[in-house]
């Protein structure tokens, strides 16, 4: 039987109508603005992102991660991005940060700082440093990837990937199709999150038990996941029909309304990122 009092409690509680932390994921969203980063060639931004990510994996220095954090702040202000929009991308991955820190804090030898009495695990200074660095690495990787999609339109990502992977056509790799699939996958992330938000609100209005402890939250995902899968397949079918109606054909050569051309600012961005990343690794 439908619980009238509980229904009104749901309506009264604003937090219950808010989307889960997945709503905060900005990956795949584009923030239009007039900045130097928005005007850069997508190939330059993609290459710079790969260089930065490589530097993060190659270094374990606190100084290096401090420089990378300062560089990230400079990029955010240069791109004229709201800091809240960039930082909220971390909320859905709080469990990942906690798990990474927890799994690495008991690793390594060194000076024992604390002894966990029940599970008999020694927390050392080496383990604490390792856990902090690994957690910071994941945080920065997520932030840099989120900024890339915020300052690069989906169509620019497609064109940039197609141009960068053009040499692979000689060995039979379907570069255009791969670039299109990658862009569609990134673009579908915010669409599916919005659809999950609508499904969640509809289930709450019907009296579904979604909030509560961990077990109740896991059970509450079932009435959301099943309709979400059906909606995703329906959207994919509609997208396929839309592409066919616009005469999209697999294997055909595509032309671009705006041809990409690397300029002086693009080369400066790539070279500057490379020099900065090498400096971080040498530190």
Residue 9's alpha-carbon distances to 16, 69, 90, 215, in angstroms, are: 9, 43, 29, 21
Per residue in 50-85, pLDDT (tens digit) is: 999 999 988 888 889 999 999 999 999 999 988 888
In this prediction, residue 22 carries a pLDDT of: 52
Per residue in 133-184, pLDDT (tens digit) is: 999 999 999 999 889 988 988 778 878 888 888 888 788 777 777 877 887 8
More confident of the two residues 199 and 12: 199
Q: Over 60: is that where the pLDDT of 6 sits?
A: no
In this prediction, residue 17 carries a pLDDT of: 34
pLDDT band per the 50, 70, 90 thresholds, residue 1? very low
Lowest mean pLDDT among 21-30, 234-243, 263-272: 21-30
Per residue in 220-265, pLDDT (tens digit) is: 677 778 888 888 888 888 888 888 888 777 766 666 667 778 889 9
In this prediction, residue 141 carries a pLDDT of: 92
Lowest mean pLDDT among 102-111, 232-241, 271-280: 102-111
In this prediction, residue 45 carries a pLDDT of: 93
Q: Which stretches within the chain are classed as H helix?
A: 4-12, 14-17, 36-39, 42-58, 62-78, 83-87, 94-105, 125-150, 154-164, 175-205, 214-220, 222-245, 264-282
C-alpha 96/C-alpha 105 separation (Å) is: 14
Spatial contact of 261 and 163, defined as CB atoms under 8 Å apart: no
Residue 281's alpha-carbon distances to 40, 51, 55, 64, in angstroms, are: 25, 11, 6, 7
Spatial contact of 196 and 19, defined as CB atoms under 8 Å apart: yes
Q: Return mean pLDDT, the chain.
A: 79
Nearest to 78 by CA among 265, 283, 279, 217: 265
């Amino acid at each position: 039987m439908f619980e009238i009092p509980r229904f009104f409690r749901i309506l009264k509680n604003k937090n219950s109508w808010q989307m889960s932390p997945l709503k905060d994921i900005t990956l795949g969203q584009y923030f239009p603005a007039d900045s130097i980063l928005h005007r850069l060639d997508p190939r330059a931004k993609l290459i710079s992102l790969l260089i930065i990510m490589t530097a993060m994996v190659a270094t374990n220095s606190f100084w290096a991660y401090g420089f990378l954090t300062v560089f990230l702040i400079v990029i955010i202000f240069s791109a004229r991005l709201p800091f809240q929009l960039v930082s909220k991308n971390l909320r859905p991955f709080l469990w990942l940060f906690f798990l990474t820190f927890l799994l690495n804090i008991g690793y390594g030898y060194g000076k024992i700082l604390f002894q966990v009495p029940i599970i008999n695990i020694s927390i050392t200074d080496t383990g604490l440093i390792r856990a902090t660095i690994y957690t910071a690495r994941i945080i920065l990787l997520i932030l840099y990837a989120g900024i890339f999609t915020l300052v690069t339109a989906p169509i620019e990502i497609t064109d940039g990937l197609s141009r960068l992977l053009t040499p692979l056509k000689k060995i039979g790799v379907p570069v255009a199709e791969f670039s299109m699939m990658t862009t569609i996958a990134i673009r579908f992330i915010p669409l599916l999150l919005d659809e999950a938000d609508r499904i969640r609100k509809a289930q709450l209005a019907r009296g579904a038990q979604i909030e509560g402890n961990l077990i109740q939250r896991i059970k509450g995902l079932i009435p959301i996941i099943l309709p979400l899968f059906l909606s995703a397949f329906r959207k994919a079918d509609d997208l396929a029909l839309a592409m066919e109606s616009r005469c999209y054909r697999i294997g055909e050569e595509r032309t671009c309304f705006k041809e990409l051309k690397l300029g002086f600012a693009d080369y400066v961005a790539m070279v500057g990122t490379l020099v900065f990343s090498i400096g971080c690794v040498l530190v």
